[in-house]
Amino acid sequence: MAAAASLADWKAASAPFPLSERSGGELARLGDPDWWVPPDLDALAELMQKAAAEGWRVLPAGRGTRLDWGGLGNPVNAVISTAGCDRLIEHAAADLTVTVEAGMTLGQLQAILAEAGQWLPFDPIAGDSSSLGALVATGMSGSLRHRYGSLRDFLIGIAFLRHDGQWAKGGGRVVKNVAGYDMMKLLHGSWGSLGLIGKLTFRTYPLPSAWGTIACQGDREAILQLRSQLIRSDLTPVAFDLLAPATAERLGLRSQWTLLLRFGSVAVSVQEQQQVVEAQATRLGLAAMTVEETVWSQLNQAFEPQTNAATLSKLALLPSQLPQFLTELEAIAPEALGRIHAASGAGWLIWPETTPTVETILRLRRSCEVAEGFLSVLAAPVSLKQQLDIWGYPGQGLAVMRAIKRQFDPQFRLAPGRFLAGLEE
């Protein structure tokens, strides 16, 4: 274990990596807390033990890419970053598993796996520069969830620091591990409110040998008809997104409703599946064209908040209710960029340059709730967050979630105020 005398060496005068203006403003609003960057997992545990002894309120962090996301939060004494804990622990390539420290970025891990012809099929917004611990904690997902599921579906082991600085573990390093509680799903999407993630084990996948992406564009009704046909077909796209006209235009496509499909397999399969999609689209009077694979990184970039006014919302609804929601979206917020995973009904809305009104958010949230879904505001100016419940959680599980929070963080010192309203009661 690191010597206590070295604690001062882990304290940074400021954030150890560049922060967006809005993230910097959020930290200032939280009282300009001290930054701590322990160099390894032993030091991380020692610092969390000190935080418990001193009664510090702690904001867990990775590399600072999403510090302005989530709830406004309450003042904290310390931001504890895992950026110094970014090592590869074990890559069992033959077993298709990898264990890493939580401060490693997604981009770093993908580069390591690629050397063995493997990858983590995960493509969230602002993903490559984000730490894996932060991606788990915030519950992010991307278009690849269509084929592979979300990150929690291939997270098979986790180790995290409790409020008292002691380690807790779940799962293991083998794919079929069934020991213990499923801590992986509990910590996924907990926004740092239950513990500080230190180690992660993932199931990996072989890299496809060929890729191909096809865009189908045209009238909304024909696009929805094609969507239904493709969902019922034997095709196996790895990503399948429905884009609003404004989103398509951002990607250099025509300003029309668009289905964007990505295939990853052997070359013959990719080519044949694209031909099937093109034929079905043509029969419905839609335009179909192959596009460069870079369109997916461009799509993610379009949904990454870049300005102080930008507002990003995450939504979900029953897939069967998608036609009605699209009608309401066009009427309520035609200026928003929309992206919905076509089969699941989960998706994103972003206002890149302007901030929507509270009324606009509430009307869209109501549309999602009528469709048995939700709409949460993840990134937005403080002025907007102060006027509404950003999570909009309509479920009945809050009492259970409060009980879990009290068990894992009895003094409410971890990420105070950042997650669901009413959680810390």
Contact 174, 97 (CB under 8 A): yes
Q: Kindly report, residue by residue over 401-419, the tens digit of the pLDDT.
A: 999 999 999 999 999 999 9
- Residues spanned by the domain of 280: 210-293
Fill in the DSSP letter of residue 5. Answer: G
CA max distance for the chain: 72
Report the amino acid identity of residue 174. Answer: V
- With a cut of 90, say whether residue 422 has pLDDT above it: no
Decide which of 24, 59, 81 is a domain's last residue.
Answer: 81
- With a cut of 90, say whether residue 363 has pLDDT above it: yes
Q: Is 294 helix (H, G, I), strand (E, B) or coil?
A: coil
Instruction: Give residue 178's pLDDT.
Output: 54
- Counting the structural domains of the chain, the total is 4
- With a cut of 50, say whether residue 12 has pLDDT above it: yes
The stretch 263-275 carries a mean pLDDT of 98
Instruction: Give residue 14's pLDDT.
Output: 72
- 409, with CB counted inside 10 A (0-12, 13-18, 19+), is buried
pTM over cut 0.85: yes
Domain contains 367: yes
Mean pLDDT of the chain: 93
Check whether residue 144 and residue 174 sit in a common domain. Answer: yes
Measured CA to CA, the distance from residue 20 to residue 26 in angstroms comes to 10
Q: Kindly report, residue by residue over 223-234, the tens digit of the pLDDT.
A: 999 999 999 999
Instruction: Please name which of 389, 392, 380, 385 lies closest in space to residue 355, comparing C-alpha atoms.
Output: 380
Instruction: Give residue 24's pLDDT.
Output: 80
Check whether residue 100 and residue 150 sit in a common domain. Answer: yes
User: Which of 49-63, 118-132, 382-396 ranks highest by mean pLDDT?
Assistant: 49-63
- With a cut of 80, say whether residue 3 has pLDDT above it: no
- With a cut of 60, say whether residue 94 has pLDDT above it: yes
Q: What is the CATH number of the domain that holds 257?
A: 3.30.70.3450
Instruction: Give residue 414's pLDDT.
Output: 98
Look at 9-23, 143-157, 359-373, 411-425 and tell me which has the smallest mean pLDDT.
Answer: 9-23
Decide which of 206, 222, 237 is a domain's last residue.
Answer: 206
Check whether residue 92 and residue 196 sit in a common domain. Answer: yes
- With a cut of 70, say whether residue 236 has pLDDT above it: yes
The stretch 40-57 carries a mean pLDDT of 97
Element (H, E) at 215: strand 210-218
Instruction: Give residue 2's pLDDT.
Output: 47
Measured CA to CA, the distance from residue 111 to residue 134 in angstroms comes to 19
Check whether residue 219 and residue 155 sit in a common domain. Answer: no
The stretch 70-79 carries a mean pLDDT of 93
Place of tokens 């496509």: 253
Q: What is the CATH number of the domain that holds 31?
A: 3.30.43
The stretch 377-385 carries a mean pLDDT of 95
Q: What is the CATH number of the domain that holds 336?
A: 3.30.70.250
* Gyration radius of the chain's alpha carbons: 22
Check whether residue 175 and residue 283 sit in a common domain. Answer: no
Instruction: Give residue 227's pLDDT.
Output: 98
